[in-house]
Amino acid sequence: MDRIIGIDYGKARTGLAVSDPLGIFASGLETLPSAKIIDYLKKYDASGERITRFVLGYPLNLNGAPAQTAPEVDVFIKKLQEAFPEIPISLEDERFTSVLAHRAMIDGGMKYSRRRDKAEVDKISAAIILQSYLDRKK
């Protein structure tokens, strides 16, 4: 089945989200050490879930200029393009996704101890990034 993968890239950890086959909604998939993301995505793609696009959160400042962490994301984009040359990559503004993720966790009734888990925040942030893309493409 066709899937779009949302990515909230970080130097240490990366959150992943996946679309439903119709590309209507996003849900958190996994949070992994950033060094293992490419291998994980290769296995995921080979498992029968065909990746049709990557939506990558891109760090911007409030004025719209690339943030200080943007060069790290640029390096990851190159690695992703090398590993999956046939799959397009879309960039999505990731400003405020961590704040929105925390708000979603609170609104969803998640306990404080789980809200402090940065891996949960990264996974939910990836879902927010992907959902933003999906909503715009409708």
User: pLDDT tens for residues 63-78?
Assistant: 878 778 889 999 999 9
**Two tokens at 61?**
């400042």
Q: What does residue 27 show for φ and ψ, rounded to 5 degrees?
A: -140, 150
Sheet holding 13-19, edge to edge: 26-33, 13-19, 2-8, 50-58, 89-93
pLDDT at 123 over 80: yes
Q: Which domains does the chain have, with CATH numbers?
A: 2-137 (3.30.420.140)
Distance (Å, rounded) from C-alpha 71 to C-alpha 59? 9
User: 38 or 103, which is more confident?
Assistant: 38
pTM for the full model?
Answer: 0.85
| Percent helix / strand / coil, the chain, rounded to 5 | 45, 30, 30
pLDDT at 100 over 60: no
Task: Note the pLDDT of residue 48.
Answer: 86
Bridge partners (DSSP) of residue 32 are 14
pLDDT at 1 over 90: no
